[in-house]
Structure 1
């Protein structure tokens, strides 16, 4: 009786202690989760991070470099108005100007919104030493301005293909490194439209 009773009491006491420990541990886990707030903090962090990363340096560089790049394309398209001999070249030049003019205004607006400087004609931004792919030199532009008719058409198409390819390269960089959804959307739009125009220009060039 004594040995069995003692054993049963010991077992009951152990079960009671175990239950208390389990209850305490459960309560501690719940309290700890509430006190530390890790799930809530983890859930809130991406939102705060996404807001902070809405614009990054790649977005700013994309706009600051694409604006003068587009401006040169518009300048080339303006030359085609009076110098091009082929009607399809004139039509394409008008299409390029109609698309890139508003995009310049859009990107200039973003830079103002972001509190970053917009490039002015002839001025260089701090990162311009990276170079802008596809940009024509002053000598290239002078040569184009001096041409007319079929000679102009071939020069224009050859130069604009290279110019568009440079813009596509810059837009692809924005897609891979940028953060602002609007800038990335524009980058994709530039890639799609300018690749289509490159294909059209190559066809025209083949028949000239």
Structure 2
């Protein structure tokens, strides 16, 4: 009788232990499942939080800056090209070369940004700055003809006077980008334009005897 009771107790203990193991296993699975769920939720939340940041890398001000600066730069390069064979001053020739060297690559960069944003790149030969949001300082067709027909000291003076006006327009556009833009590389380019073209304006004013 005692042996029978002992056997019953052993069976009950084994059953209880088995039930406890099942409960623990179930809890463990639940915890693991909850852990995975939490991981997915946090990843999803992180992704959704980063999406607006990615989409906000550029805004309307960045597009206006790029679309305006491209024809503006193209005209500056066209003006700089005229110095070859027309300019008399070595300083003016070097200034024209520096302008072309700086602005040609910027045109390519600006065009690349617009393409990546799915925006229109101004067509070659487009000089109507009002159509692309460019600031002031663009030369008229008559002024470009005047510059093309000049030579020697006359060219040097006309080139610098026109380029100062041109640079003023570019600096105005760049400052607008610095204030309103969202694309960090565009804002960096705008800062470079303000710095470099301000220095060139100072140089040209000195050559013109204004400082």
* TM-score bin (small chain): 0.7 to 0.9
SS at match of 1:92: helix
Aligned to 1:54: 57
Residue in 2 that maps onto 1:136: 139
1:1-208 aligned within 5 A: 47-123=50-126, 128=131, 130=133, 132-206=135-209
Match of 2:12 in 1: none
- Give the Cα–Cα distance (whole angstroms) in 1 for the partners of residues 195 and 83 of structure 2: 23
Structure 2 unaligned spans of 5+:
1-37
Rg larger for? 2
What CA distance in whole angstroms lies between the structure 1 residues aligned with 2:96 and 2:54?
A: 39
- Give the distance between the partners of 1:168 and 1:114, measured in 2 at CA: 24
Identify the range of structure 1 (49-58 vs 86-95) with the bigger mean alpha-carbon deviation. 49-58
CA distance in 1, matches of 2:129, 2:203: 35
Cα separation, 1, equivalents of 2:149 and 2:190: 33
Shift of 1:124: 7.3
The CA RMSD over aligned residues, in Å, is 2.4
Shift in Å at residue 82 of structure 1?
1.2
The 8 Å contact of residues 59 and 179 in structure 1, kept in 2 or not, is answered as: yes
**TM-score, normalising length: structure 1:** 0.74
* Paired residues, number: 169
CA deviation profile, 1:52-102 (whole Å, cap 9, x unmatched):
211101101100110000000000000011110111000000000000000
Runs in 1 of length 4+ with deviation above 6 angstroms?
Answer: 43-46, 124-127
Deviation at residue 180 of structure 1 after TM alignment: 0.5
Q: 1:72 to 1:129 in 2, by over 3 A?
A: closer
| Cα distance in 2 between the residues matched to 1:92 and 1:131 | 23
Q: How far 1:46 sits from its partner (Å)? A: 6.3
Alpha-carbon distance in 1 for matches of 2:120, 2:147: 30
Moved more, 130-139 or 116-125: 116-125
